[in-house]
Amino acid sequence: MTEQGEGRIDASRNGNVPKSDGVPIDAWPQSGSGLLTFASAFRVQWRQWWPYYAMMAPGLIFFVVWHYVPIWEAKMAFEQVRIIPPNIWVGLKNFQTLFASPIFYQVLANTLIISAMKIVFVFPVPIMVALLLNEIRSGKLRGAIQSAIYLPHFLSWVVIAAVFIALLSPTDGAVNQIAQAMGFEPVNYMTNTGTIRWVLVVSEIWRSAGWDSLLYLAAIFAIDPQLYDAAEMDGANRWQKIWYVTIPGIVPTIATLFILNMGMFLSADLNQVINMQNAVNASTIDILDTYVYRLGLSTGEYALATAAGLFKAVIGMVLILVSHTVSKRLTGKGVW
């Protein structure tokens, strides 16, 4: 692929500078070469590559504007915001204010609790769904079930929250009607601080269990069928085959996804919470993201909100990098 000779052949054949990939790598200045060489090499390179940079330009501009300028804007976390600019640099004062406020710890605790609940109760569900789906012999039946349970993955959290509000309504929601038929008192799950976190867990299962099972199912399909045949020869029954062949086969996938989930620990899903939140349940499901949103865009505490956002971003980045590294070490699979 990267033979240097090829470019020279091209160049001599066409008698001009080839347009794609053809320029020999050694057209770049070697170490110790002079400025003149560099300039001429640059010209040669530029003549060949400018169309590609031109095509990439809009994308590069988008990336710089939407991802790198906000990093610069985030310096607000270290400033006192004034109505009449410029802002005053105050160093870590905003962070001190933040870390001194009891609400911040309340919010942090909520975030950690909700994330932990999701890891414990949501994470295993798609694995079980994939194991069950794999046991279905008829491809048509499996396909039908899959197309149905994938659907919620493609709905927005606004829609899912609206569906759950209807589903959990104390007067005419399906859940309470079943509960009442069995002799229980109706519960307003959405405005009950004891149940609302479970609403988050269950709605997350509703949304993602089907679709996430696809990843595990793909891993199961990649397992060598001979292993199953061998297990069968040894007289293994269904559960033994699942336990000794299927599960070991998907452990790397499970590990990767688990570690990645850990990396997202501080992101308890803004879109979910912001749509499920109401005046009554807010105290239990107020997470870092909604706190930043409220502090900044409703209360106007821009500097403090930016500081809280930056705290989350930095911890989140560290968690993702660590989990990526761990994942790569353990399973050879990373995120990128």
Partner 1 sequence: MAIKTRRTPLERIEYVIIVSTLLLLTVFTLQPLLNLLALSFTAPENVAGFSGLSIFPDGFSADVWILLLQHPNVQRGIFNSVWMTATSVMIGVLFTALMAWGMSRPRLPGRRLIFMMVLITIVFEPGIIPDYFLMKRLGLLNTPWSVILYKAISAWYLIILIRFFEEIPKELLEAAELDGANPFQTFFMVVLPLAKPALATIALFYFVLHWNEFFRAMIYLNDQSKWPLQVVLRQFVIEGDKVAIVGANNANNNIGIAQINIRALKAGMILITILPVLAIYPLILKFFTKGTMSGAVKG
Q: Token digits for 129? A: 């769904």
CB of 278 to partner 1, least distance (A): 9
Q: Find where tokens 């007067």 sit.
A: 171
Question: In whole angstroms, what is the distance from residue 127 CA to residue 108 CA?
Answer: 29
Using the minimum distance from each CB to partner 1, give the nearer residue, 122 or 217.
217
Contact pick of 116, 120, 297, 322 for partner 1 (by CB under 8 A): 297
Distances from the Cα of 127 to the Cα of 18, 250, 331, angstroms:
52, 9, 18
Write each residue from 301 to 320 as x if it is in contact with partner 1 (CB under 8 A), else as -, in one continuous string: -x--xx-xxx-xx--xx--x
CB of 194 to partner 1, least distance (A): 21
Question: In whole angstroms, what is the distance from residue 223 CA to residue 302 CA?
Answer: 52
175 binds partner 1 (CB under 8 A): yes
Count of CB atoms within 10 A of residue 136's CB? 14
CB of 196 to partner 1, least distance (A): 14
Contact pick of 39, 40, 43, 65 for partner 1 (by CB under 8 A): 65
* Strand partners of residue 80: 88
Write each residue from 213 to 232 as x if it is in contact with partner 1 (CB under 8 A), else as -, in one continuous string: -xx-xxx-xx--x--xx--x
Q: Which stretch binds partner 1 (CB under 8 A): 91-99, 100-108, 110-118, 126-134?
A: 126-134
Count of CB atoms within 10 A of residue 103's CB? 12
Give the distance from CA 252 to its chain's centroid: 19
CB of 228 to partner 1, least distance (A): 6
126 binds partner 1 (CB under 8 A): no
Using the minimum distance from each CB to partner 1, give the nearer residue, 195 or 208.
208
The residues in 183-202 that bind partner 1, with binding defined as CB under 8 A, are: none
Contact pick of 132, 230, 251, 322 for partner 1 (by CB under 8 A): 132
Q: Find where tokens 């919470």 sit.
A: 273
3 state DSSP class of 79: strand
Using the minimum distance from each CB to partner 1, give the nearer residue, 199 or 309.
309
254 binds partner 1 (CB under 8 A): no
Q: Token digits for 75? A: 């310096």
Question: In whole angstroms, what is the distance from residue 58 CA to residue 5 CA?
Answer: 33
Question: In whole angstroms, what is the distance from residue 329 CA to residue 200 CA?
Answer: 32
39 binds partner 1 (CB under 8 A): no
Q: Which stretch binds partner 1 (CB under 8 A): 30-38, 101-109, 112-120, 285-293?
A: 285-293
DSSP 68-95: IHHHHHGGGGGEE--SSSPPEE-TTHHH
Give 122's DSSP letter: T
Contact pick of 90, 165, 201, 264 for partner 1 (by CB under 8 A): 165
140 binds partner 1 (CB under 8 A): no
33 binds partner 1 (CB under 8 A): no
Question: In whole angstroms, what is the distance from residue 136 CA to residue 241 CA?
Answer: 14
Contact pick of 69, 88, 92, 330 for partner 1 (by CB under 8 A): 69
279 binds partner 1 (CB under 8 A): no
Number of alpha helices (DSSP H) and beta strands (DSSP E) in the chain: 17, 2
Contact pick of 167, 236, 264, 326 for partner 1 (by CB under 8 A): 167
